[in-house]
Structure 1
Amino acid sequence: MYLSEQRHFPRRRTSVGASRDFVTGVLVVWGLHPLVEDIRLCVSELATNALLHGVPPGREFCVGLQRGTELVRLTVRDSGPGRPTVQSPDADACSGRGLHLVSGVADDFGVDHHIVGKTVWAAFKSPAAPLTP
């Protein structure tokens, strides 16, 4: 058994904050308070990357959370052609750290490429809590 929630967001700056609010609300309902800060950080980075590099004008991106007995998986899917990679920016660079942060905070992460677009995901070990919404 698993739980799943997703929401679509428009290509707007305010969607990053809205995606943080969305995952926070879902995690609180699921009783996963220990994961809130890490997943909020990761969705901020992934949603920002989707807006800057992945979502073509006039389209949306989708944020999802799936919970199994052992893992919580955060997904951000967009329809753009970008190919995300972990960067190694210079110390004075203003960008390029998002996926590096995600890889450091999450227990696992990756990118699934689709015919149109891709899904960037991060997985987190789930604390013991019942699977009830």
Structure 2
Amino acid sequence: MRATTRSAPGHLAIDLDVTPEAVPIMRSIVCDHLKLWGVASTSDRAALTVSELLTNVLRHTRPVARTGTRSARLTVTRLPGVVNVCVRDFDPALPELSYPAADDECGRGLHLVMAFADDFGCSSIKGGKDVWANFLIGGDGTSGPEVAR
């Protein structure tokens, strides 16, 4: 697995080759950073979102012709009142919400992200897209119903 990591207080950026083995490693790294930043209350939801977004890169983007890998940039940023998670990939096709049958094994990723996150969206960029999710936090690092929405 190839990954380049840059970290500063409140900001984490990782450029990586997305592989099935990389997904749980990225989930752990995100949880550890959120705990370090004092917002552990968001770690489970953010980590699950990272898993879903990186899995979408694996399933729905084309490999880079030169390397045969699927590349992405994962960023996690703590801002006042919110943690932002963003996965940038280099395939311009925007994600599409699917409606799987009850016995389908795939197709629920974006539904899960929308359920975990307080806000969610995607943006086209030159040569790709950003898919992001926000998780509200209180002044004491908590999240949940007590945070005004």
TM-based fold match above 0.5: yes
Q: Which SS does the other structure have where 1:102 is aligned?
A: helix
The answer on whether the counterparts of 2:92 and 2:124 sit within 8 Å (CA) in structure 1 is no
Residue number among 83, 88, 104 corresponding to 1:77 in the alignment: 88
Unaligned runs of 5+ in 1: none
Runs of 4+ in 1 over 6 A off after TM superposition: none
Change (3 A) 1:88 1:59: closer
1:44 aligns with 2:57: no
Q: Which SS does the other structure have where 1:103 is aligned?
A: helix
TM-score, normalisation: structure 2 = 0.80
1:55-89 per-residue CA deviation (whole Å, 9 max, x = no partner) reads 52334211111111111100011101332022211
Residue number among 54, 75, 79 corresponding to 1:68 in the alignment: 79
More helix by share: 1
Residue number among 19, 24, 29 corresponding to 2:36 in the alignment: 29
Change (3 A) 1:126 1:58: same
Cα distance in 1 for residues equivalent to 2:60 and 2:15: 17
Higher relative contact order (CA 8 A, sep 6+): 1
% identity of equivalent residues: 35
Cα shift at 1:114: 1.0
Residue number among 112, 132, 139 corresponding to 1:101 in the alignment: 112
